[in-house]
Amino acid sequence: MNNSVRILSTEILSKNWYKLYKYTYETTDKHGNTIVQSREAYDRGNGAVILLYNPELKTVVLTRQFRLPTFVNGNENGLMIEACAGLLDQDNPEDCIRRETEEETGYRIRDVRKIFEAYMSPGSVTEILYFFVAEYTHHQKIGEGGGVDEDENIQVLELDFQKALTMMKTGEIKDAKTIMLLQYALINRLINIE
């Protein structure tokens, strides 16, 4: 913990969907001077994400869904290709990602491996994202996927791994967490593409 930071006040600016806070804090600059600053932080909770991969078929399972923030910031149709992910709510990360995988993709996975965790946008969002990988087979498909909530409209995609890597280069895949997982799979040879 940074002992040179002291929170002076916390104000909730919005709690419409998640919470937007304004923090006023006291800190010490590099010259030893005490300064007061204010920053906003969006708290949507922590999440988990997973890359499902099949080394024999050389495929990965991703999803496609509409994301309003991308639509209002230049993504023409608002559709994003992403690795399966979800908010922890009250679950631990592994239980969360097992549940989300089944709900979103229809796969009931067994062996889940946590590979790392990361702050995805530390300048404005409090979220820590827990990253997982798991092998899948078609025998593990127990449902259609697509989400369980009425407002979820998730399309399940099974893609050739090499094609997914190419889609990063062409800009068809622009989601940071998905790019991180695909690159992890490439670097660690989860799928041999030679």
Convert the pLDDT of each residue in 91-108 to its tens digit: 899 999 999 999 999 999
Q: Are residues 24 and 89 in the same domain?
A: no
Q: Are residues 22 and 100 in the same domain?
A: no
Q: Which of 168, 169, 170 has the alpha carbon at shortest distance from 178?
A: 168
Tokens 């695909």 belong to: 182
* pLDDT digit string, tens, across residues 25-81: 999 988 889 999 999 999 999 999 999 999 999 999 999 999 999 999 999 999 999
Please provide the distance, in angstroms rounded to a whole number, between the alpha carbons at the two ends of the chain: 45
- In a domain, residue 192? The reply is no
Question: Distance (Å, rounded) from C-alpha 112 to C-alpha 52?
Answer: 9
**The model's pTM:** 0.90
Q: Are residues 38 and 51 in the same domain?
A: no
Total number of domains in the chain: 2
- In a domain, residue 180? The reply is yes
Residue span of the structural domain in which 99 resides? 47-187
The predicted pLDDT at position 35 comes to 93
Q: Are residues 98 and 170 in the same domain?
A: yes
- In a domain, residue 193? The reply is no
Q: Are residues 30 and 53 in the same domain?
A: no
Q: Which residues contact 34 (CB under 8 A, 6 or more apart)?
A: 26, 27, 28
